Amino acid sequence: MRTLKFSVLLLSLWATAASSAVNVQRNSDGSYYTAVLSNGSTSLKYDIVFIGDGFTSAQQAAFNARVTDAVAALQAMIPYSQRMCGLNIWRVNVISAQSGVDHPKDGVFRNTELDCRYGNPAVGEAERCIRSDSPAKCYEAADYAPDYDAVFVLVNDTQWGGCAGGLVFSSIAPGFAATITHELGHKIGALADEYDYYVGDGSDDNRTYLGPEPGSANLTKQTARASIKWNALIAPTTPLPTTVDTPPGVVGIWEGGGYYRFGIYRPQLRCHMRSTGNPFCAVCEGEMRTILGNNCTFCELNPGSLICYIRDWSKYTLVWQRPFRLRWPFPPCLTCPPDRLFDDIIIVLEQLPLGFRLQVVDERGQVIAESRPSEKGLQVEFKANRTQQYFVEVLSSEQATGEKLTLAPQLFRNGQIEPLPE
Amino acid sequence: MIKAQYSLLLLASLLMLAGVLGCARSARVTSIEPAAASPGMIVQVTTDKAVFQSREAAHVEIGEQVAVIQNVLSATSVEVIVPNVAAGEAEVRVIERGKRAERSSVRLRILPARSQQLVLSFQNNNVSLLSSSLRGGEALRTAEPDQRRLSYDVFNEQGGFVYSGALVHPAYGRMEVYDETQTGDRVVRGDKPHEHAVFAVKIPNVPGGKLTIKFYDAPAGVDLSTDSGRAARQFLNEITINR
């Protein structure tokens, strides 16, 4: 009897666990996710996961096609198109029992895996605001991917709608990918919204901003030229504040942004962060390019570089001409324990002819360490902050001799020799 | 004579059996580079047989979990993504279609995951933990500073402050509604977020058995990297994670 009770208890526990698990498609290799765009280790890339709701087992190909559309939209928009190397994109195929999602306003209800629905105006919700009544299940589905920094939920419905908080929901109506490109502006670049109302029903269209200087890159309350964050992009002849957009695309300070009409300024008249029909303004574009670029390796950004063809430094002999300058990115620490920010680095180059030197520059181009001769050859030491990117440079002086040069650098991180990545 | 015939028959049978077993033998992993990696990293797996003629021909398992193939480098070599398996030694095996898997002597040293993904719930000014999982990616600190934020501090087992982060407040920060398909000025607008919110944050995978996270409500505009900005936060509650 006791055994029977225990079995019933076990069975009910199993049933509870099974009923709460998200129904995710298993691929032929046994995995539960698909790499749509895999550019490297999750520790180096910004990871995006797409999950779907209201797609039945037979409709998974349609979901896959919409994800492909979203990726194509990213690939077609600057600066994403130039910095796709900073992204990993994963897809998790969630299987719903029924097709479509709930429309409470119309009394239409569907049995879907992630319980997504359009807003219900009867209880004060915006109908266009798609959401899930089981957001934890959305994260559970995303959890099947190797990692996620942003989760996009595509619902199988062609009525326009989208809503973004922590999770981003979008229908698959034509143009839906603009929701993704705009939200990534917030999530990757910490860019502020540039529209000048909040609710947008006419009740808050004329507010004046009285707060401190905004922290985001694309808004300012400064009107003095030297104090404006994007001053370097403003032509000396552009009047401030700026009111004339001739020729189109004038960078200045345009009043309105961050949900306020007055007392706050944005860089250009039109921007993707103001209205999704536009490309990014120059400031937002630059910010996104920089941040995404930090997730790319030197060779991803400069695939034509000579350095990217070199597979084995110890065998490679360069025929050099004066002046000689060779630069390669300092490899990030992939296997270091996570509890320290700085690493002690020593780079040694043996067999360098006379007149050569070695130096390390940071991501702003500042030389932070120069070589000194050691018994092994030239040696450079520095403390590497793991949040920064560094480059190692070999340079020749006027006194450099020889015509051939073999490079075989040795890297010591925190006292341990480390193989250089190929 | 009969004895000799039997011997030949036996030898032939043994050869056939060896042939059958040999054909059925799955490829063995001969090397893995690098020899140590954390979940989410890419490692190169090389086998003694040409089994990767296509992505579908075979798959790789690390620690009995599928390691998705990122790149087929040659018929004997692939790059795979290290799955989210626990730190320690993990067996690396190649599974060919229709063939039993051989045990492999090559093992990957799984390094501790770099971060921990927490799924949290916010309701009635209280944050609670729904789930946590180990991840390979970095913890991100990005949050729009002009928004009201949920700030959090992470403390290790000894009570040492190890990390601080913030995200747009899931219940009081920005939420956007995408209203129209036209490319007019009012395509996007703000809306009041839901008071009950579920959200995710990624924190570093701090060594030790216990972790405490304190949550704060941070007003819009304050600089959370300064003492005065941090002092402007209002404490909400704390959660403890025992691992």
In terms of pLDDT, which residue wins out, B239 or B19? B239
3 state SS of B189: strand
**DSSP character for A93?**
-
The contacts found for A247-250 with CB under 8 angstroms, 24 or more apart, are: A249/A282
Lowest mean pLDDT segment, chosen from A260-264, A321-325, B43-47, B68-72? A321-325
Neighbours of A238 (CB within 10 A): 15
B200 closest CB neighbour out of A166, A198, A259: A166
Neighbours of B38 (CB within 10 A): 28
In terms of pLDDT, which residue wins out, B81 or A406? B81
Q: How far is CA B221 from the centre of its chain?
A: 33
Q: Please indicate whether, in this complex, the C-beta atoms of A139 and B119 are within 8 angstroms of each other.
A: yes
Q: What is the mean pLDDT of residues B156-165?
A: 86
Structure tokens at B232: 């402007």
Interface probe with B: pick from A22, A29, A155, most Cβ of B within 10 Å: A29
Helix (H) or strand (E) holding A260: strand A260-266
Question: Does position B7 have pLDDT exceeding 80, yes or no?
Answer: no
**DSSP character for B195?**
S
The type of residue at B112 is P
* Closest CA in chain B for residue A335: B37
The type of residue at B127 is V
Query: Residue A270: what pLDDT?
Result: 95
Kindly state whether B140 is in contact with chain A, defined as any CB-CB distance less than 8 angstroms.
yes
A146 preceded by cis ω (within 30°)?
no
The yes/no answer to whether this complex scores an ipTM above 0.90 is no
- With contact defined as beta carbons under 8 Å apart, do A101 and A110 qualify? yes
**Cα-only R_g, chain B:** 27
* Closest CA in chain B for residue A258: B146
Q: Which residues of A189-210 are buried (b: 16+ CB within 10 A; e: fewer)?
A: bbbbbbbbbbebeeebeebebe
Q: What are the pLDDT digits (tens) for B98-138?
A: 777 677 778 999 988 888 999 999 998 999 999 998 887 77
Neighbours of B235 (CB within 10 A): 11
Per-residue pLDDT of chain A (422 residues; tens, 9 = 90+): 444 444 444 444 333 333 458 999 999 888 999 999 988 888 888 999 999 999 999 999 999 999 999 999 999 999 999 899 999 999 999 999 999 999 999 999 999 999 999 999 898 888 888 999 999 999 999 999 999 999 999 999 999 888 888 899 999 998 899 999 998 998 898 899 999 888 777 788 889 999 889 989 999 999 999 999 999 999 999 999 999 999 999 999 999 999 899 999 999 999 999 988 899 999 999 999 988 888 887 778 766 555 655 554 444 455 555 566 666 667 666 566 666 677 888 888 877 777 788 888 876 667 899 888 777 778 889 988 776 677 788 887 766 666 666 677 788 888 888 765 44
B66 closest CB neighbour out of A30, A199, A275: A30
Neighbours of A254 (CB within 10 A): 24
Q: Which residues of B104-119 are buried (b: 16+ CB within 10 A; e: fewer)?
A: bebbbebbbbbbbbbb
Which residues of chain B lie closer than 8 angstroms to A182, CB-CB? 176, 188
A79 preceded by cis ω (within 30°)?
yes
Which residues of chain B lie closer than 8 angstroms to A166, CB-CB? 167, 170, 197-200
Find, among A69, A13, A28, A54, the residue nearest to A138 by Cα. A54
Nearest CA distance, B31 vs chain A (angstrom): 16
Helix (H) or strand (E) holding A152: strand A150-155
CA atoms within 13 A on the CB side of A353: 18
Query: Residue B96: what pLDDT?
Result: 86
Query: Residue A401: what pLDDT?
Result: 65
Q: What is the mean pLDDT of residues B66-77?
A: 89
Query: Residue B3: what pLDDT?
Result: 60
Q: What are the pLDDT digits (tens) for B87-99?
A: 899 999 998 877 7
Question: Does position B155 have pLDDT exceeding 70, yes or no?
Answer: yes
The type of residue at A238 is T
For chain B, the average pLDDT equals: 82
Kindly state whether B198 is in contact with chain A, defined as any CB-CB distance less than 8 angstroms.
yes
